[in-house]
Amino acid sequence: MSTTPGVPAPLRVAVVGCGVIGRLHAEVAAQNGDLDVVALVDPNPDRTAAVADQLVAAGRPAPRRFGSLGEALEAGGVDVVSICTPSGEHAGLALEALEAGTHVVVEKPLDVAIEPARKLRDAAAARPDQVVAVISQHRHDPSAIAVHRALEAGRFGRVTSAVANVDWYRTQEYYDSGAWRGTWALDGGGALMNQGVHTLDLLLWFLGEPVDVVASTARLGHERIEVEDVAVAIVRFASGALATLHASTTVYPDLGVRLQVHGTDGSAVIEADELTFFHARDAEDGDWTADQSADEIGAAAAGSVRGALDPQESHVAQYGSSHGTQWADVVAAIRERRAPWVTLDDGLRALATVRAVYLSATLGERVRVADVVDGRYDGIATRTGEDVRTGVPA
């Protein structure tokens, strides 16, 4: 454990929202010797009790339990607040923590609306000594790092296009499992805002500044949700590159995630977080058919770390180890007084691009991402495209 003057060691963490992902954050922090989970926050006391039991069973001290973030901040002794609540509460709670003087980790998406996210960004800019990171754990996947490095080194030549497919399946029971799921107010969208935002964020990391979006959405395979289970979009980037984006939670059977990136001198494909194809002209030995995937895949895999807990119990086993890697980066950012790997601006750009998709689908027009960030569309409600089975507009 490294120490920095004025920065406690270990850092004391409050996990806010103790559901599926809050439990993972507590587990990841418990595995990091530089983090101590000292507080759990959830209005549902059963949730805080279950996570506290899990930490104690893992040999950690019992954290204090609170019903609201305000109570936990009032009690004091917290250095980092981790926001793991339903998405529509992210930016507001993050702002509360920031203003109380703590560092903040916010689960994806940064929020469901631009206004609170922008407010958080402006408040954070006025507090440069506090780290605010947005979870986008797949940026820490060895496959994503390998592709990003190749792009940064120019190994794919001029980047021309990308294809992002999030072909997932979520049951009706999944949406019925929480009152907030599938609502505009708290989930903020469906297949793209909740599930596809991971892949969209990688797309933006790889291709750079998104300029505008043309999109359609539909709700075709689920009931009792307000939001889309199919989103299709064309994204144009400042470089001139074009990407197609398809995000669905009604692909049966689940085909997983596939992200292709193409340039004049190379291409890469990531499938289910693994690099399955890589070819750059610079490494050819005059043989066009040479397959470089194995080397790059090997190099990427060498950096990979897998969770070590009981696979039946462990959320780390379920979600992979990249949350742990991102938390390690947050700790390093705090200690080294530097920006985290995934910043608030990154989170805002991903959120604005998702909102641009929904706005384009709602308004039937091309939407500029910068206009979304700047507030041109503030207050405009989005809706899901017409349900073709009933013909009734959603």
| 366: its two tokens | 């091309």
User: In angstroms, rounded to a whole number, what is the distance separating the alpha carbons of residues 176 and 99?
Assistant: 35
Q: What is each CA distance from 283 to 149, 297, 331, 387, in whole angstroms?
A: 15, 14, 37, 49
Q: Tell me the per-residue interface mask from 17 to 36 with ligand NAD, x by CB under 6 A, - otherwise.
A: xxxxxx--------------
Q: Does 85 bind ligand NAD (CB under 6 A)?
A: yes
Per CB under 6 A, contacts with ligand NAD among 58-77 are 69
The CB-nearest residue to ligand NAD is: 19
> Binding ligand NAD by CB under 6 A: which of 47, 155, 170, 368?
47
Binding residues for ligand NAD restricted to 162-191, rule: CB under 6 A = 178
The stretch near ligand NAD (CB under 6 A) out of 40-48, 50-58, 96-104, 344-352 is 40-48
**143 touching ligand NAD, by CB under 6 A:** no
| Nearer residue to ligand NAD within complex by CB, 187 or 296 | 187
Sign, CA dihedral 124-125-129-134, equals positive
| Helix (H/G/I), strand (E/B), else coil: 214 | strand
For residue 295, CA distances in Å to 34, 188, 287, 290 come to 34, 40, 16, 11
Nearest to 159 by CA among 205, 121, 125: 205
Return the number of the residue (85 or 260) whose C-beta is nearest ligand NAD.
85
How far apart, in whole angstroms, are the C-alpha atoms of residue 158 and residue 351? 26
- Whole-number Å distance between alpha carbons of 383 and 255: 26
Nearer to ligand NAD, 36 or 96 (CB): 96
Q: Is the Cβ of residue 51 or residue 331 nearer to ligand NAD in the bound state? A: 51
Amino acid at 379: G
Within positions 317 to 336, which residues make up the interface with ligand NAD, using CB under 6 A? 319
Of the CA atoms within 13 Å of residue 158, those in its CB half-sphere come to: 8
**N- to C-terminal Cα separation, the chain:** 53
CB of residue 182 vs ligand NAD: minimum separation in angstroms?
12
Minimum CB–partner distance for residue 180 and ligand NAD (Å): 6
Give contact residues for ligand NAD (rule: CB under 6 A).
16-22, 41-44, 47, 69, 84-87, 89, 107-108, 135, 137, 178, 194, 319
